[in-house]
Structure 1
Amino acid sequence: MPTTPARPTTTRTTTAAARRRPARALAAAAALSTCLGLLTACGTADDGAKSPAGAVGDRTAGFPVSLTNAWGKTEIPTRPLRVATTSDGDTAIALALGIVPVITPDIEDGDPVAEFKQRAIDKLGAGKLKTYDDTDGTAYEEIAAEDPDVILGMNSWSMQADYTKLTPIAPVVTFTDKKHADTLTWQERLRTAAKALGRTAEAEKVIAANARTTARAAAAHPEFKGKKYTYAVVHPEQISFMSYAAQDPGVFESLGLAKTDKARDYGPDKNAVSLENLDQLDADVLLLTYPFGDKGVLSPAELEGNKLFKSLNAVKNKHFAVVPSENSLATAMAYPDALSAPWVTEELTPILAKAVAGG
């Protein structure tokens, strides 16, 4: 599994925890007015905000819904009102669709909520979300206590262990193939969840709003078109090639960029770049982040002083940029979702513009 900027690992088990709890050490993101645009499809007080999921009307219209997943089949008899989530990515899906989850994993653990997420919560009048401590994994009993109508697990890396324990609680909405935990785009995750929740139209509005945001940014920066990029994260155990071929590109491709040919050599189970192979990082644009500072496998000074690293064309010609780890950008780039995409576009565009311009 690929490693997250917040929780390094080279094993499948601990990476599952990492995806559920991204960016504990990262502070709240800068405010972005355009992030409100993706919430145009969200519920308001007039369309049922009193119910946890924000859904009203005929709950039988369009239901029952049957979804095949990697472990069996999910049957949803009526439109869900009470939605539980098993990862921050699933919480983002719910909020983007105008749904206030009845319970979510506590990924902030006392840290400030990312601004784009807080704006969505505030718009829905949700106050503070009810959470469970997921340090030791999914809290089945706490989820069951909230009596959900459905459980979202479109972004969960622990579904192999969780599925049989969650299904007695409520129908579980998750991916159709186990490898999809790593490879689905946020749009695909959103659409599947929306079908289960009876919110397909809302999902398409969110996707269209995000597409308009990136299209405007791409039009303002025609120099991005055709540029190849690499995004890497310096963890304590390794340097991780995060922009591997099957990884969701998030906003990069919508902005006109493309992954390098070397991306084909990396994947969810193979993303470590050794020091003798630092040339694998070279691209028209190279982005790095150091979420662990001097505690990475190499400190920023050590890596950027490395002879092979300095020989990379991207470094020599100053087409190299460091993504700040003080906010949620590094994690949001690695694990895109419907809620963060407009903010990522706003934050990432100036960094890319400077790196493309180079020396």
Structure 2
Amino acid sequence: MNRLARPAARRRATARVLVAATACVALVAGCGGSEDKKSADKPAAGAAAGAESFPVSLTNAWGKTEVAEKPLKVATVSDGDTDIALALGLVPVITPDAEDGGPVPEYKQRAIDKLGGKKLKTYDDTDGTDFEAIAAEQPDIILGMNTWSMDTDYAKLAPIAPVVTYTDKKHADTLTWQERLKTAAKALGMSAEAEKVIAANEKATKDAAAAHPEFTGKKYTYAVVHPEQITFMSYADQDAGVFEQLGFTKTDKAKNYTAEKNAVSLENLDELEADVLLMTYPFGDNGLLSASELESNKLFQSLNVVKGKHYAVVPSDNNLASALAYPDALSSPWVVEKLTPILAKAVAGK
């Protein structure tokens, strides 16, 4: 199951929601305010390309989205939608403040720098979507491919501008990032650009796998320490994701777990045994236990994967754990870049 890219709860440092989210899901890998009205009325970087003809009509779960002409000013209602725009080379006229005023993730800052380096114009989404702030920017289109709140937001967003979102409410959880990107790109007249983004991300993963043939066939376990449990993330029917695209395979123990049955008790830590074990602690002090507490556990220490030093922690403070759980067009190649050396050290037992 592919999960939605970065919902509001996940965006907050005190509650980076990875619950039931796959961390091995399918991966490959502006400022338009009144003071900058002139530039806001021009196509954003990359907007000139795209072969689609307009008008474009898209069906969604709440009705139809009619895009009369090629959009020039794009607003977003989630961090994942902002990443879609940036991946396509567009600087949104307004976005939610996904970092709550904190530092922008490295992969996003790279894209912003490439598109001119201006700080994104944001609204405070602590209490949800700020409809007035979006309306004030007079967007031509609103991207909502990565939000769980569309059921309540759509009626308020649609009068502002055409809303691009999913065709079925259940797709909030099930669409891949590639599907979300393609739908948004169609409405933007940028399908060709979307295919290039997908191809580039796939190449990043294939290149990393080719550079590390030692990954092939190694069995892995990936687990997340949540506040209430240790969660076995790499369960059997999980979609093949970045780990497997890099050459790893799931352990035999994976068949014991599902998206709904995924808790590993401290008495059954041997369920984590694998050639390579990856853990992450995204909730910090609010997790069930800390890394040092787990690593001092006698049963954990007895695991062959731990004794052989084939165990590694996926960091959460740099957004890597979150980007694994909520992949998108912008973060995917960065995930491969950052994860590959961690995996290489774990395989080597360093």
TM-score range, shorter chain: 0.7 to 0.9
Whether the 8 Å contact between 1:17 and 1:157 is mirrored in structure 2 is: no
1:172 partnered with 2:157: no
Identity of aligned residues (%): 73
State the distance in 2 between where 1:336 and 1:113 align: 16
The 3-state SS of whatever aligns with 1:337 is coil
Cα RMSD over matched residues? 3.2
Whether the 8 Å contact between 2:181 and 2:329 is mirrored in structure 1 is: yes
1:253 match: 244
- Evaluate the alpha carbon distance shift between residue 150 and residue 274 of structure 1 in structure 2; reply closer, same or farther with a 3 A threshold: farther
Question: More displaced, 195-204 or 207-216?
Answer: 207-216
- Evaluate the alpha carbon distance shift between residue 260 and residue 50 of structure 1 in structure 2; reply closer, same or farther with a 3 A threshold: farther
Alignment counterpart, residue 221 of structure 1, candidates 212, 224, 232: 212
1:240 partnered with 2:231: yes
Instruction: Describe the superposition over 1:300-332 as per-residue Cα deviations: whole angstroms up to 9, x where unpaired.
Output: 122223344344443344332101233121111
Greater relative CO, 1 or 2 (CA 8 Å, sep 6+): 2
- Evaluate the alpha carbon distance shift between residue 148 and residue 24 of structure 1 in structure 2; reply closer, same or farther with a 3 A threshold: farther
Instruction: Describe the superposition over 1:116-145 as per-residue Cα deviations: whole angstroms up to 9, x where unpaired.
Output: 211211211151111011111111221122
Instruction: Describe the superposition over 1:157-181 as per-residue Cα deviations: whole angstroms up to 9, x where unpaired.
Output: 2222222222222222222333332
- Evaluate the alpha carbon distance shift between residue 347 and residue 59 of structure 1 in structure 2; reply closer, same or farther with a 3 A threshold: closer
Q: How does 1:1-359 map to 2 (within 5 A)?
A: 16-19=7-10, 21=11, 23=13, 51=42, 53-54=44-45, 62-125=53-116, 127-243=118-234, 250-260=241-251, 262=254, 265-267=257-259, 271-358=262-349
How far residue 256 of structure 1 moved from its aligned partner, in angstroms, is 1.9
State the distance in 2 between where 1:338 and 1:59 align: 18
State the distance in 2 between where 1:300 and 1:109 align: 26
* Residue ranges of structure 2 left out of the alignment (5+ in a row): 17-28, 30-38
The 3-state SS of whatever aligns with 2:245 is coil
- Evaluate the alpha carbon distance shift between residue 312 and residue 183 of structure 1 in structure 2; reply closer, same or farther with a 3 A threshold: farther
State the distance in 2 between where 1:65 and 1:264 align: 46
Structure-1-length-normalised TM-score: 0.79
Structure-2-length-normalised TM-score: 0.81
How far residue 280 of structure 1 moved from its aligned partner, in angstroms, is 4.3
Instruction: Describe the superposition over 1:216-274 as per-residue Cα deviations: whole angstroms up to 9, x where unpaired.
Output: 1111111212333332222323333444567665533331234456278332x665444
Instruction: Describe the superposition over 1:315-352 as per-residue Cα deviations: whole angstroms up to 9, x where unpaired.
Output: 34433210123312111111111112222112111111
Corresponding letter in the other structure for 1:173: V
- Evaluate the alpha carbon distance shift between residue 178 and residue 97 of structure 1 in structure 2; reply closer, same or farther with a 3 A threshold: same
Corresponding letter in the other structure for 1:77: A
State the distance in 2 between where 1:62 and 1:285 align: 49
State the distance in 1 between where 2:134 and 2:345 align: 45
Whether the 8 Å contact between 1:237 and 1:296 is mirrored in structure 2 is: yes
How far residue 288 of structure 1 moved from its aligned partner, in angstroms, is 1.0
State the distance in 1 between where 2:264 and 2:312 align: 18
Corresponding letter in the other structure for 2:95: T
The 3-state SS of whatever aligns with 1:336 is coil
